Amino acid sequence: MNTRVSRRILLATAGTLAMTAGAALAQDCPIRIGALAPLSAPGTVVGGEAMRDAMMIAEADINAAGGILGCEMELVIGDSEGLPERATAVMERLITQDGVVAVGGGYHSSVGVASKDVADARGIPVVFAETWNDTITGDKQKYIFRIAPLSSWTSNIIWEFALTVPGIDKAVILTENTDYGIPASQETQKGLEAGGVASTIFSVDIGTQDYAGIVERIKAEDPDMIITLVTGEAAFNFTQQAADAGIGPLDVPFITGQDALESGTYWTNVPDGQYAFIQRIGVPESQFTEKGKAFAAVYKEKTGKSDVESYAMEAYDSIAILAQAIEEAGSTDGDAIVTALENISHEGTLGRIYFDYGLKKDPSADGKGDEWWHQWPDPAITMIQYQEEGQASTDAAIVFPEAYKTADPVWVTE
C-alpha cells in the first residue's frame, strides 16, 4: 500500500446506520475523522506506524460500541512524512476533499505548528496526540487541543534528571533542526546551566543517517552525559554509532530518543544499547487504567509487540476523545465540538483527560502561561532505563522522578 496516499479505513461493513434520537442534527454517514501520522521518511516511520495501528483500534472500538451519532466512524489517515509543508497539504486535503469533521494524531511538532493554522482557519477541531512544541497551544487558537505534554515540561524532566548524574560537569545535547528539537535543546541547556552544568548543542537535520562526524566532535568534548533529542530511526542510528565509537550507553550516561520504547526495534538497531535512559509519557503497564490494559492487550496482539508505546496510547486517546466530544455535542459542527471538548471528562488509556483552560477560562486567571490553553495538565512523565540486555520497555526500571521510581539508575563511566 502506498503510505503517501491518505488511507480510508472502514472496518465495519453493516452500511449506513440511522441517526440516534438524541442527536441534535441530521448527519451524513459515515462520520469521518482525520488522523495525522508520519508513515514515510524523513518522518519517524516507526512511531507513525504505531500511531496508525492505535488509531485503527480506536476506530474499531468506536464502531463496535455503536459509532458516533448513530453513524459509523471512518478514519482517514494522512501521511505527514514529518514535514511541515507536507502536513499543511495533508490537513487541507483531509478537510476540503475527504470531508473530515475533526482531526487527531500528529507526531512531529513541526507538523503541529504548520497544520494547526489550516484547521483553525476552517473551524475544524484538532486534538494533537504527540506534538510537544509549546506554541501549538500557546497561540490560543479556538479549535486546537493537545493531550501530549508541553515541550518545556518534558525538557524540565530531562535536565532535572541529568543533574542527578554523579560528578556531572559537562553534557552534550544532540538535537534536530525542528520545531521540537530547537526549543527542547535550548530549554534543556538553560536548565543544565542553572544547575551549574555546562553543555554544548550539536544540531542535525531530521532523518540524518550518518553521524560519524558529529560523533567524533562529541567525543572530543569528553562529556559526562549525552542527551539525544532527535526522533525516530535517526536516534537509533546515532546511539549505535556513538556506541561503536566508545561513547554510547555502555560508556557514559546516555539519554536516547523515545522511539527506543519500541524495544524490539531498539535492540535490533542498537545491540549495544544497554543502560540507555528513555523518557516515557505515562505510567508503567502495571499501573495502566482498565481501558489502558484493554487497549494494550489488543494492540500487542495486533502488532506482535511486547511493548505499548506512549505515543500509541496518545494516538488512540486523540481519536476516542473526539468521538466522545462529537457524541456529547450532538453535532459535527466545529463550535459545538469545541464546547464539548472544553467540558469533557474522558476516561482514556492514559487516564482521565480534561482541559482546564480555554474559552471558558483563560490560563492567565490562574497565573498560567498561554501554552496551557486547551492543554491536558496531567500526563505522567518518567525516565526509564534498560538495565538488562534485550529488556522490554514495559519491564524497564523507572529511575526518575521519585513519585514513580521503581529502581535506582545504573551509572556507567568511560
Residue 235, all three cell numbers: 536516534
Give the predicted TM-score (pTM) of the model: 0.86
Domains along the chain with CATH numbers: 7-150+289-372 (3.40.50.2300), 152-282+381-404 (3.40.50.2300)
Amino acid at 233: E
- Structural contact between residues 176 and 202, judged by C-beta atoms closer than 8 angstroms: no
Compute the distance between CA of residue 251 and CA of residue 37 in angstroms, rounded to an integer.
34
Compute the distance between CA of residue 337 and CA of residue 321 in angstroms, rounded to an integer.
11
How would you write 96-154 as a 3-class SS string?
A: HCCCCCEEEECCCHHHHHHHHHHHHHCCCCEEECCCCCCHHHHCCCCCEEECCCCHHHH
H or E segment to which residue 335 belongs = helix 334-342
Indicate left, alpha or beta for 364 from its phi (over 0: left) and psi (-120 to 50: alpha): alpha
Compute the distance between CA of residue 177 and CA of residue 10 in angstroms, rounded to an integer.
37
Compute the distance between CA of residue 345 and CA of residue 70 in angstroms, rounded to an integer.
21
Q: What is the pLDDT along the chain (414 residues), one digit of tens a residue?
A: 333 333 333 222 223 223 332 333 446 899 999 999 999 999 999 999 999 999 999 999 999 999 999 999 999 999 999 999 999 999 999 999 999 999 999 999 999 999 999 999 999 999 999 999 999 999 999 999 999 999 999 999 999 999 999 999 999 999 999 999 999 999 999 999 999 999 999 999 988 999 999 999 999 999 999 999 998 889 999 999 999 999 999 999 999 999 999 899 999 999 999 999 999 988 878 889 999 999 999 999 999 998 899 999 999 999 999 999 999 999 999 999 999 999 999 999 999 999 999 999 999 999 999 999 999 999 889 999 999 999 999 899 999 999 899 999 999 975
Q: CB-side exposure of 356: number of CA atoms within 13 Å?
A: 14
Q: CB-side exposure of 153: number of CA atoms within 13 Å?
A: 22
Q: CB within 8 A of 4, min separation 6: which ones?
A: 39, 40, 79, 81
SS3 166: coil
Residue 234: alpha-carbon gap to chain centroid: 16
**Strand 254-255 versus strand 126-128 pairing type:** unpaired
Q: List the end-to-end C-alpha distance of the chain, in Å, as a whole number.
A: 46
Residue 46, all three cell numbers: 516507526
Compute the distance between CA of residue 340 and CA of residue 322 in angstroms, rounded to an integer.
9
